[in-house]
Structure 1
Amino acid sequence: MSVDIAALVRTRVEQPGQVAEAAAARRRPVGLTGVTGRLMLVAADHSARGALRAGEDPMAIADRRRLLERLEIALSRPGVDGVLGTPDVLEDLLLMGVLEDKVVVGSMNRGGLVGTAFEIDDRFTAYDPAAVERMGWQGGKMLLRIDPDDPATAPTLEACGRAVGALAERGLMAMVEPFIAHRVDGRVRNDLSTEAVVRSATVAAGLGWTSAHTWLKLPVIEDMEPVIAATTLPVLLLGGEVAADQEAQFATWAKVLGHPQVRGMVVGRSLLYPPDGDVAGAVDTLVGMM
């Protein structure tokens, strides 16, 4: 597949109103789950935080044409229900016409840029709940990193709590991705111990005045049973980094997908930049597990 970048730029220059028109005219999905009975989303919100690495390539995601081509392939495969992304990426896909009948989740807080002194201060710099509703998307996603030693955690918690409530008022999914995090040698690292993942899930589940529309996006760790047991909210598995041994990674996911409370997956780099370069093959394999 080849993306006409010149056409996208021309539309943005000459007819920027087409973005809103296309959003209003887009066919929207009937529900949040597709043919598998679960939700399968491709993640494309990394670049807005300056997280451009995929595998061994530190700038893989920086090439927008390459990213859009891979997203188009993934979204064309049977069983892929939709995409999670920031406004720039979602609007490109919208103008390309590949979001018809797809579940679209807008990424909201991208202010915690990778490698910065203010990384934990994850301000809402992309979508807000009103914009998610205005665009006709099905939900909003927020990242919640909880650093016990960083005071910026508190306003991020508060902002996420308000967003959960505001999305619920509109009947829209609030997808919360929580982590306990610490600075190690000056860089933010997520704690993937069982206790830390359980604690982060319980905190995220309690955000907002209602949890009726909240879904948790959680990492896959070795011992998932205590994590799943910690909440009654629907759980989406986080794909994470590109693995050198993709078969082993898929086998780990398949084991966790067997739990009835796990309602799907949100996978980005692992599907869009697989070690062998076969995006369609990686997607089809994962959909088969679902």
Structure 2
Amino acid sequence: MTALDFELLRETRAARPGRIAEILAARRRRDVIAGDGRLFIVAADHPARGALGVGPNESAMANRYELLERLAFALSRPGVDGVLGTPDIIEDLALLGLLDGKIVVGSMNRGGLRGASFEMDDRFTAYDIDRIRRDGLDFAKNLIRINLQDAGSADTLEASALAVSEAADAGIPIMLEPFMSEWVNGSIRNDLSTDAVILSIAIASGLGNSSSHSWLKLPVVPDMERVMASTTLPTLLLGGDPTGDQDETFDNWSNALALPGVRGLVVGRTLLYPPDGDVVSAIDTAAALVHRR
């Protein structure tokens, strides 16, 4: 991989900001469904929510240059189909010339900041469907945390429904990442039980005036066969917080990837910041699981 020109990136941002739109307009695109029909997307929208930690390192993602280098390594590997990020990340990658031929997913709602008293009021503070369309991005993504004890979830559901409807009208696939969530000792905890995931799927699937372009982004939980029996929507698996044994994580992904309806992985911190520091090995292992090489 060639060295990244960060000096040019900084200079362009300061002196020629219009260059970002030009690069995105000229970007070489690909079909979302191509080849074996499976997708491996690297996720990097965590910082915009104030979630900079990976494992015990609470500031692992704070160094933007290191994050971009890790993303560049990931995007250079065979079998990596694309990247998910907020506008700042996507535009940095565009300026570095890393998005041609890749699926680019725009992250939409990042307003429910990690640890904030208003975390459940998850406002759309990043991309909207109109901008995703104008920038020629390939996919939209939004997080839908549903807390039955917090009225902030109502606003998130309403905004998500509008985004789903707008995505369908624009012909843009939208990735819905639903969770049943609750407050525990002042923090939000997502319920990763099988029944809770199934309930979240039922709620998210009915959002908007059309589900024609809706996809799901789901955690790997016990009894994934029952989870996948609860939906006909195309589904991608998320990596979640990097905890536990990495080999066990890969095994769980492999088993879930074999289920009907599962079309790939959307994983970020687990692979960009692996416990052994070997980004390339982690990315290549995951790519082989998705594309069954």
**Coarse TM-score class (shorter-chain normalised):** over 0.9
Report the Cα distance in structure 2 between the residues aligned to 1:225 and 1:260, rounded to whole angstroms. Answer: 9
Map of 1:72 onto structure 2: 72
> Sequence identity, in percent?
56
Map of 1:61 onto structure 2: 61
Report the Cα distance in structure 2 between the residues aligned to 1:287 and 1:116, rounded to whole angstroms. Answer: 35
Q: Deviations over 1:54-89 (max 9, x none)?
A: 122110011101100000000011111000000000
Alignment of 1:1-290 (within 5 A): 2-29=3-30, 31-290=31-290
TM-score by length of 2: 0.97
What is the number of equivalent residue pairs in this alignment?
289
Q: What letter corresponds to residue 23 of structure 1 in structure 2? A: L
Q: Tell me, what secondary structure is at the counterpart of 2:61?
A: helix
Contact (CA 8 Å) 2:225, 2:259: kept in 1 or not? no
After alignment, is 189-198 or 1-10 more displaced?
1-10
Report the Cα distance in structure 2 between the residues aligned to 1:181 and 1:242, rounded to whole angstroms. Answer: 19
TM-score by length of 1: 0.98
After alignment, is 198-207 or 243-252 more displaced?
243-252
Report the Cα distance in structure 2 between the residues aligned to 1:125 and 1:34, rounded to whole angstroms. Answer: 31
Contact (CA 8 Å) 1:217, 1:238: kept in 2 or not? yes
Stretches of structure 2 lacking an aligned partner (at least 5 in a row): none
Report the Cα distance in structure 2 between the residues aligned to 1:36 and 1:46, rounded to whole angstroms. Answer: 29
- The alpha-carbon deviation at position 34 of structure 1 amounts to 4.3
Report the Cα distance in structure 2 between the residues aligned to 1:164 and 1:13, rounded to whole angstroms. Answer: 35
Contact (CA 8 Å) 1:120, 1:152: kept in 2 or not? yes
Contact (CA 8 Å) 1:34, 1:81: kept in 2 or not? no
- The alpha-carbon deviation at position 37 of structure 1 amounts to 2.4
Q: Tell me, what secondary structure is at the counterpart of 1:45?
A: coil
Let me know the Cα RMSD of the aligned residues. Answer: 1.0
Q: What letter corresponds to residue 40 of structure 1 in structure 2? A: F
